[in-house]
Amino acid sequence: MNLRTVGVSATLIVVVCAIYGFLIWSGLQADKLREQESNITSLQDNVAELSKVQRIVQEGLSQDVRTLEDDVGSASAGNEELILELSERVNSMYETLSARLSIQVEREFEEVLKLHAEIEDLSGLVDELSTELNDVREELEAAPVISPGPTPIEEFTGERVVSTFPVPPPPPPPFVAPIEVDVPCPKNPDNADVAQRILTKAMERTSRTGTYAFTATFGVASDGTTYDIIVVGNGPKDLHRAVERYTRALNWTLIDEVNGCELKLKLDVK
């Protein structure tokens, strides 16, 4: 009986120890679970923070990309405007040089013709002068030799002979400078048809339509070229420059230099 009681007691002790051990192990596992949950929560917070940072970085990168795209677009537009302006300047220089070259060639051809005519006139004049020189030479050879200096004239007064000299001629009248007269500005240029091409091409290229009035003031040198050109008007810059090039390309026929000439133009662009 005692052995049985002892066995039951030992079994109870073992069961109680097992229960306490299980409870202790469960408590330890619960602590570990709570620690794992805390770590998981911390990781989730870190992941959320990283996601937030990543989103901010991505938005910043997107903004930078858009800014770069805007800068590239602006640079492209600026380059296109620069290319168009350079192309326009090159075309303007080409037109001006072409007009000047054609004008210069025509002028040189006219000068050559004038030189040929002057050479023919000079040849005839040389022949006439040679004939006159021969006639004068023959007259000089036939005329008597006269001694230099004044020759006294002898007059008989009845009592004695008086020698007198001839009365010298009166002095020439004083020189009077001619009165300067203002030379009027020429009306019709010599090469209007050729220079007109500058305005025609500029009107074809411009993108603006309407009627524009321009006034160009300038001077004309003795060789017929224009200088000191000033253009005013309400038209666009490309037409303004075309009017200036047109005025510069004009050539006139005149003898003396004139200033303050004026040219009015009305361009109807459709």
| Average pLDDT rounded to a whole number, residues 220-248 | 91
Residue 156 lies in a domain: no
Question: Residue 254 is which amino acid?
Answer: L
Residue scoring higher pLDDT (163 or 201): 201
**What average pLDDT does the structure give for the chain?**
76
* DSSP string covering 76-144: HHHHHHHHHHHHHHHHHHHHHHHHHHHHHHHHHHHHHHHHHHHHHHHHHHHHHHHHHHHHHHHHHHHSP
Highest mean pLDDT among 33-37, 154-158, 232-236 belongs to 232-236
Q: Is residue 69 part of a domain?
A: no
150 has a pLDDT exceeding 90: no
Q: Is residue 234 part of a domain?
A: yes
Can you tell me the distance from the alpha carbon of 197 to that of 209, in angstroms, rounded to the nearest whole number? Answer: 19
140 lies in some domain: no
Q: Are 203 and 265 in contact (CB under 8 A)?
A: no
Domain-located, residue 264: yes
Q: What is the CATH number of the domain that holds 195?
A: 3.30.1150.10
Q: Is residue 215 part of a domain?
A: yes
Q: Give me the pLDDT at residue 30, please.
A: 77
Higher-pLDDT residue of 78 and 121 is 78
Question: What is the number of domains present in the chain?
Answer: 1
Ramachandran bin of 214, using left for φ above 0, alpha for ψ from -120 to 50, beta for the remaining angles: beta
Residue 269, in any domain of the structure: yes
**What confidence tens digit (pLDDT) does each residue in 88-124 have?**
887 878 778 777 777 777 777 777 765 665 565 445 4
Average pLDDT over residues 235-249: 91
Q: Which residue has the higher pLDDT, 196 or 15?
A: 196
In tens, the pLDDT along 163-183 reads 444 556 666 666 555 544 566
Is 175 within a domain? no
Q: Name the helix (H) or strand (E) containing 223.
A: none
pLDDT mean over 196-214: 90
Q: 171: which DSSP letter?
A: P
Name the pLDDT band for 68 (thresholds 50, 70, 90).
confident
* Segments forming the whole domain that contains residue 269: 190-270
